[in-house]
Each structure stands twice: as structure tokens, then as C-alpha cells.
Amino acid sequence: FTIGLTKREPVLLERTLKQISSLQIDFSKTAQFEQDLVFEELRGTTYKKGIIFIGHGIEKGPALVAYLNKLKKIPKKIVVIDDKMNNIVNIAQALKAFKADFIGLRYGGA
């Protein structure tokens, strides 16, 4: 399955969903949860329609870990594509506790 993981804060989620919908991008097709999830301990980080919107000052690694902890089964392989190397490193560090293979790719073409 595929999820989106963005440092756009939850207050921007409706606007973001509208923007990506206009590009025919729909992460809800492979969403693992139909209901929204709110991680209050991560400053309101919110999962909606297959995308994690990260609360102010929170890094991507802890947000992804909080989401993975809600799953019934952890994926065997996690592939992350991000435009910033510091996000890849942060996620790799956070995922060390999981037994999943991790591949992090930095893509700066956008």
C-alpha cells in the first residue's frame, strides 16, 4: 500500500486534498484506515484519506512510527521517497525498532 506523508500541517489538509485531487492523485484508494486518526501527542498530526499531515514541529519519523503502530501488521519493506535528505535520515532512525527493510530515496527533481 502507499501513503502520503507531508509536513503540511493538519490545518491545511482540506486544501491539500483538493489540490492533489485536481491532479488525480488519490491516496485513499490504498488507505489502511477509513476513519481519520488524530495523534494528539504529536501536536495534532492527522491521518486522513491515506495521508499523514504532520503537526507543527514534529518530524516525519515519529509521525510514521505512530501510524505504523496503529496497523495490525507492519509491512516487511518500507520505501520512502522524499525531496529532503534530512527527512530520509530521520525516518530511517525512527524505523530502527521495526524489523522492516527500509529503502530511502531522495528525489529532488520537482
The half-sphere exposure of 50 on its side-chain side, counting CA atoms within 13 A, is 14
At 99 the pLDDT is 87
- The tens-digit pLDDT sequence of the chain (110 residues) is 999 999 999 999 999 999 999 999 999 999 999 999 999 999 999 999 999 999 999 999 999 999 999 999 999 999 999 999 999 999 999 999 898 999 999 998 76
53-83: burial string, b at 16+ Cβ within 10 Å, e else: bbbeebbbbbbbbbbbeeeeeeeeebebebe
Q: Which residue has the cell 483538493?
A: 18
At 108 the pLDDT is 87
pTM above 0.85, yes or no: yes
Cβ-based neighbours of 16, under 8 Å, separated by 6 or more: 6, 8, 51, 53
What DSSP designation does 29 have? G
